[in-house]
């Protein structure tokens, strides 16, 4: 639970209007405790008319259907996975159980008395909330719609009846957070739509007094307690989207027309506030860009289908968000891993192996049309033809769409440098959104570097929100990102797990991104004022130069420069030279192929939310433990070819042999050309050639096929150490998705700040 200090810090980030609004909410919650609001009479014979057009289900490809049914059949067998925790009790789930801790949240407590932030009391609240978003039910309902098999419909109905009985209005943890209610309403709309034609659909929904009660209380809650002020981020989008969709599809209450109008107006305003003019989500958290876009598209389509006018400004924001997504993905359709990520989806009607980002772009193409510079969209999905079929007219947006692929999204401070298979994200944007910047990380001037979609220099991710403060702090810390830390502290000051009380201010100084030739980016931030950290990055073919400078008067304290590698990258550090290798990615995955993007689709099967984002399937899991200079730090099961034996350190973990590696003195490869000197600190080093890695082409064992390599010349002014899977304190970790973490190699250079030059060269 949060102490008094947190409440004071949180209050300090609110304006007067928000304080008044929160006081009003507190009064309402107190009134509801003593007397629940009373719903109006239900119409005598309500009819559900928000059905899919005839013939649209026949437009879904057989491939997309097969993926969907694979996930639905896992659910029918009682198997599901949420945030890395497998459940085998999902035939008849306990809606209050956290399978990770074994704790059970109280089900008979007034909702606003549930201490949902206390893992000791309720367990991991995300594990409890996620199944109750009922997105697995839209998967089952879609399976029924596409097969007419009543077993899927029957199971969905059983779960709904069970949930409604166990969760009376305003009782228990599922009535605490508006985002949960909003997404749940959207799931109910699509579950009813996809079950149309099943003989029990009307009895389950419009003729069911339990559903009537739940539906009204969900909408009344959202209309009364909408998020606002410093909390008006993705939560308010979900609240508006759920209220709007339900009031359109189930518009049977006297309040429905007013709810539709208010929700549409609010959604239009909040989408605009939550989105930069460039189209990127203002929270600067890539997965929340996907969540908000999914919610916005689903709500706008629902309103349009019901004849509720959707402002052109709403369509314009959704169009800009779609174009922005197309502009920032790498050549494997992966967006950046910036800021928080909790694997949240707005609407799921696809199988777990459907690529989320390709599906979003496919929906954008169907609604708005693609531009010439968009990346090719692999495969297809279930959701796109269904969404597109509900739109009564082709959305027209007033804005001018980019004529070429944007590389610098100025207002968001995101710059993408590209050269062949090399993709680099440079972070020069605002710290976060609104006064609390809830989902921001202390990552100013950080980089992500990928080669053919594989994380080389990786953003470590998020891992957790509640219950594990040490891990929450690490994954959003400055040291946890590919940037420079001064004086042992973060650039921005944290006041709690979703609260920043001081925000570093970053300014982009130079951007040069021609269609051909070297690209360059430079930016600085004041997070260590009066010292100023300035970083310059240049990508020239297969060479990436990184120059870090600390400017200003006075002593800024000691520096630590961190480089975090993706979990599939093996690292050998010899002095200030790091040799890298990783399995080459397979051909770009089509939608439906096992995806390693970390952005795969819905919960429901063991494959759901399990992608690592590390590259191709078949990449081995990282090896635990740390590595000293001259040792390989890398993935388990590495073959002899990559293990190596060095007199300066051990060759690796069990299972490796030295058969192909040979012996190298001092950590150098046997038979290799002379190692290059470390990059000088006075600027970009000379043009001397780096030696080719002699081991390439001799790898066997678990890393069959091509292996990619790179050499990293680190600043010689710093003392470099290797870290991997350390816990006291945490260092050397990668989180592929919420609730999951695995060891990965981190290099940390410690010493005095100054003019530090790093060169990364891909072979």
CB 431 within 8 A of CB 492: yes
Q: What is the 3-state secondary structure (H, E, C) of 482-526?
A: CCEEECCECCCEEEECCEEEECCCEEEEEEECCCCCCEEEEEEEC
pLDDT tops 90 at residue 521: yes
pLDDT tops 70 at residue 596: no
Lowest-confidence region among 21-25, 256-260, 317-321, 473-477: 21-25
Predicted TM-score (pTM) of this structure: 0.85
Residue 703: the pLDDT is 45
Measured between alpha carbons, how far is 132 from 181 in angstroms, rounded to an integer?
Answer: 9
Residue 587: the pLDDT is 57
Measured between alpha carbons, how far is 673 from 301 in angstroms, rounded to an integer?
Answer: 61
Residue 604: the pLDDT is 37
Q: Are strands 532-540 and 519-525 parallel, antiparallel or unpaired?
A: antiparallel
Residue 553: the pLDDT is 81
pLDDT tops 60 at residue 638: no
Percent of the chain whose predicted confidence (pLDDT) is above 70: 82
CB 475 within 8 A of CB 468: no
DSSP-assigned letter for residue 585: P
> Higher confidence at residue 481 or residue 587?
481
Rg (the chain; Cα; Å): 26
Query: What confidence tier does 607 reach under pLDDT thresholds 50, 70, 90?
Result: very low
> Higher confidence at residue 636 or residue 757?
757
Residue 646 neighbours by CB under 8 Å, 6+ apart: 572, 574, 630, 631, 663, 664, 665, 666, 667, 668
Measured between alpha carbons, how far is 556 from 528 in angstroms, rounded to an integer?
Answer: 7
Residue 362 neighbours by CB under 8 Å, 6+ apart: 377, 380, 381, 384, 591
Residue 586: the pLDDT is 67
Residue 170 neighbours by CB under 8 Å, 6+ apart: 32, 36, 110, 111, 112, 217, 221
pLDDT tops 50 at residue 705: yes
Angle at 753 between CA 414 and CA 445, to 5 degrees: 5
Residue 7: the pLDDT is 56
* Beta-carbon count within 10 A of 100 CB: 18
pLDDT tens digits, 401-452? 999 999 999 999 999 999 999 999 999 999 887 778 888 899 999 999 999 9
Lowest-confidence region among 251-260, 475-484, 643-652: 643-652
Please report how the helices 256-273 and 209-224 are oriented relative to each other, as an axis angle in degrees rounded to 10. Answer: 50
Percent of the chain whose predicted confidence (pLDDT) is above 90: 72
What is the helix, strand, coil percentage profile of the chain, to 5? Answer: 30, 20, 50
Residue 91 neighbours by CB under 8 Å, 6+ apart: 76, 77, 78, 155
Residue 591: the pLDDT is 33
| Cα 257 versus chain centre, distance | 35
Measured between alpha carbons, how far is 670 from 661 in angstroms, rounded to an integer?
Answer: 8
Provide φ and ψ at 250, rounded to 5°.
-120, 55
Instruction: Kindly write down the DSSP assignment for every residue of 11-47, as one continuous string.
Output: HHT--HHHHHHHHHHHHHHHHHHHSPPPPPPPPSS--
Query: What confidence tier does 674 reach under pLDDT thresholds 50, 70, 90?
Result: very low
Mean pLDDT, to the nearest integer, of 589-606?
A: 36
Query: What confidence tier does 745 reach under pLDDT thresholds 50, 70, 90?
Result: very high
pLDDT tens digits, 304-339? 999 999 999 999 999 999 999 999 999 999 999 999
CB 355 within 8 A of CB 379: yes
Cis peptide before 141 (omega within 30 of 0): no
Residue 427 neighbours by CB under 8 Å, 6+ apart: 338, 413, 414, 443, 444, 445, 446, 447, 483, 506
Residue 750 neighbours by CB under 8 Å, 6+ apart: 558, 559, 560, 718, 719, 721
CB-count burial class (<10 Å; 0-12, 13-18, 19+) for 327 = buried
- Pair of tokens at residue 297: 């598209």
Mean pLDDT, to the nearest integer, of 163-177?
A: 97
pLDDT tops 70 at residue 746: yes
- Best CA proximity match to 685, nearest among 594, 598, 577, 568: 577
Lowest-confidence region among 95-109, 329-343, 701-715: 701-715
Measured between alpha carbons, how far is 171 from 39 in angstroms, rounded to an integer?
Answer: 16
Residue 2: the pLDDT is 63
* Beta-carbon count within 10 A of 102 CB: 8
DSSP-assigned letter for residue 635: B
Give 546's strand partners: 537, 758
- Residue 424 belongs to what H/E stretch? strand 422-427
pLDDT tops 70 at residue 73: yes
Mean pLDDT, to the nearest integer, of 468-478?
A: 94
Average pLDDT, the chain: 84
pLDDT tens digits, 522-575? 999 999 999 999 999 999 999 999 999 999 887 788 999 999 999 999 999 999
pLDDT tops 90 at residue 173: yes
pLDDT tops 90 at residue 620: no
pLDDT tops 90 at residue 45: no
Residue 672: the pLDDT is 27
CB 188 within 8 A of CB 124: no
Measured between alpha carbons, how far is 317 from 275 in angstroms, rounded to an integer?
Answer: 7
Residue 680: the pLDDT is 34
Angle at 542 between CA 724 and CA 561, to 5 degrees: 35
Provide φ and ψ at 75, rounded to 5°.
-65, -40
* Beta-carbon count within 10 A of 383 CB: 27
Cis peptide before 530 (omega within 30 of 0): yes
- Pair of tokens at residue 43: 């119409």
pLDDT tens digits, 119-168? 888 999 999 999 999 999 999 999 999 999 999 999 999 999 999 999 99
CB 719 within 8 A of CB 544: no
Query: What confidence tier does 647 reach under pLDDT thresholds 50, 70, 90?
Result: very low
Provide φ and ψ at 593, rounded to 5°.
-80, 155
Measured between alpha carbons, how far is 719 from 729 in angstroms, rounded to an integer?
Answer: 19
Measured between alpha carbons, how far is 217 from 242 in angstroms, rounded to an integer?
Answer: 13
Residue 397: the pLDDT is 63
pLDDT tops 70 at residue 270: yes
Residue 609 neighbours by CB under 8 Å, 6+ apart: 81, 82, 83, 84, 343, 352, 600, 603, 737, 738, 740
Residue 206: the pLDDT is 96
Residue 627: the pLDDT is 33
Give 748's strand partners: 562, 721
Q: Are strands 645-646 and 663-664 parallel, antiparallel or unpaired?
A: parallel
Angle at 270 between CA 267 and CA 272, to 5 degrees: 110
């Amino acid at each position: 639970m949060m102490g008094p200090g947190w409440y004071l810090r949180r209050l300090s980030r609110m304006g007067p209007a928000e304080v008044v609004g929160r006081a009003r909410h507190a009064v309402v919650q107190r009134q509801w405790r003593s007397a629940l609001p009373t719903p109006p009479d239900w119409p005598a014979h309500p009819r559900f008319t928000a059905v899919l057009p005839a013939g649209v289900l026949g437009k879904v490809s057989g491939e997309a259907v097969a993926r969907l049914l694979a996930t639905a059949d896992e659910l029918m067998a009682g198997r599901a996975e949420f945030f890395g925790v497998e459940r085998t009790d999902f035939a008849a789930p306990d809606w209050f159980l956290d399978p990770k801790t074994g704790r059970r949240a109280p089900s008979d407590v007034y909702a606003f008395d549930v201490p949902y932030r206390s893992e000791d009391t309720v367990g991991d609240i995300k594990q409890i909330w996620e199944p109750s978003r009922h997105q697995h039910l839209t998967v089952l309902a879609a399976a029924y719609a596409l097969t007419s098999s009543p077993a899927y419909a029957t199971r969905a109905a059983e779960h709904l009846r069970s949930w409604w009985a166990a969760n009376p209005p305003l009782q228990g943890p599922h009535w605490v957070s508006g985002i949960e209610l909003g997404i749940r309403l959207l799931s109910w709309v699509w579950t009813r739509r996809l079950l149309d034609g099943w003989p029990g659909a009307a009895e389950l929904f419009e003729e069911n007094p339990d559903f009537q009660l739940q539906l009204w209380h969900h909408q009344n809650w959202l209309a009364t307690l909408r998020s606002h002020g410093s909390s008006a981020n993705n939560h308010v989008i979900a609240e508006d989207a759920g209220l709007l969709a339900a009031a359109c599809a189930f518009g049977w209450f006297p309040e429905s027309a007013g709810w539709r109008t208010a929700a549409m107006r609010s959604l239009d305003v909040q989408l605009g506030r939550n989105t930069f003019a460039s189209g990127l989500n203002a929270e600067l958290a890539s997965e929340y860009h996907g969540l908000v876009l999914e919610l916005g598209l689903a709500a706008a389509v629902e309103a349009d289908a019901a004849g509720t006018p959707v402002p052109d400004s709403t369509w314009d924001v959704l169009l800009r968000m779609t174009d922005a997504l197309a502009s920032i993905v790498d050549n494997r359709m992966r967006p950046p891993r910036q800021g928080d990520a909790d694997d949240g989806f707005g609407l799921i009607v696809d199988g777990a192996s459907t690529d989320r980002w390709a599906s979003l772009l496919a929906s954008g193409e169907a609604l708005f049309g693609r531009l010439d510079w968009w990346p090719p969209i692999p495969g297809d999905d279930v959701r796109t033809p269904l969404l597109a079929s509900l739109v009564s007219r082709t959305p027209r947006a007033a804005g001018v769409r980019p004529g070429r692929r944007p590389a610098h999204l100025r207002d968001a401070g995101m710059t993408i440098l590209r050269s062949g298979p090399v993709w680099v994200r440079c972070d020069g944007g605002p710290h976060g959104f609104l006064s609390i910047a809830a989902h921001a990380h202390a990552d100013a001037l950080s980089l992500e570097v990928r080669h053919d979609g594989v994380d080389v220099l990786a953003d470590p991710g998020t891992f957790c929100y509640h219950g594990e403060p040490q891990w929450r702090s690490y994954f959003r810390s400055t040291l946890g990102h590919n940037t420079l830390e001064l004086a042992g502290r973060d650039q921005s000051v944290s006041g709690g797990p979703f609260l920043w009380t001081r925000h570093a201010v970053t300014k982009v100084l130079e951007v040069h991104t021609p269609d051909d030739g070297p690209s360059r980016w430079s930016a600085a931030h004041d997070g260590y004022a009066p010292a100023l950290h300035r970083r310059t990055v240049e990508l020239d073919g297969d060479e990436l130069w990184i120059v870090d400078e600390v400017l200003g008067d006075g002593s800024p304290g000691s520096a630590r420069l961190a480089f975090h590698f993706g979990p599939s990258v093996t690292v050998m550090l010899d002095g200030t030279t790091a040799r890298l290798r990783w399995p080459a990615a397979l051909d770009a995955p089509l939608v439906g192929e096992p995806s390693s993007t970390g952005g795969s689709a819905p919960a429901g099967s063991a494959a759901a939310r399990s992608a690592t984002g590390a590259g191709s399937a078949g990449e081995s899991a990282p090896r635990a433990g740390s590595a000293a200079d001259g040792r390989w730090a890398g993935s388990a099961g590495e073959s002899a070819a990559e293990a190596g034996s060095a007199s300066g350190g051990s060759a690796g973990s069990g299972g490796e042999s030295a058969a192909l590696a040979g012996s190298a003195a001092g950590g150098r490869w046997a038979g290799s050309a002379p190692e290059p000197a470390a990059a000088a600190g006075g600027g970009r080093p000379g043009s001397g050639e780096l030696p080719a890695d002699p081991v390439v082409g001799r790898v066997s064992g678990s890393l069959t096929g091509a292996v990619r390599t790179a050499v990293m010349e680190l600043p010689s002014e710093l003392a470099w150490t290797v870290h991997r899977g350390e816990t006291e304190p945490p260092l050397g970790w990668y989180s592929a998705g919420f609730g999951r973490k695995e060891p990965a190699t981190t290099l940390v250079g410690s010493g005095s700040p100054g003019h530090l030059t790093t060169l990364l060269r891909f072979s």
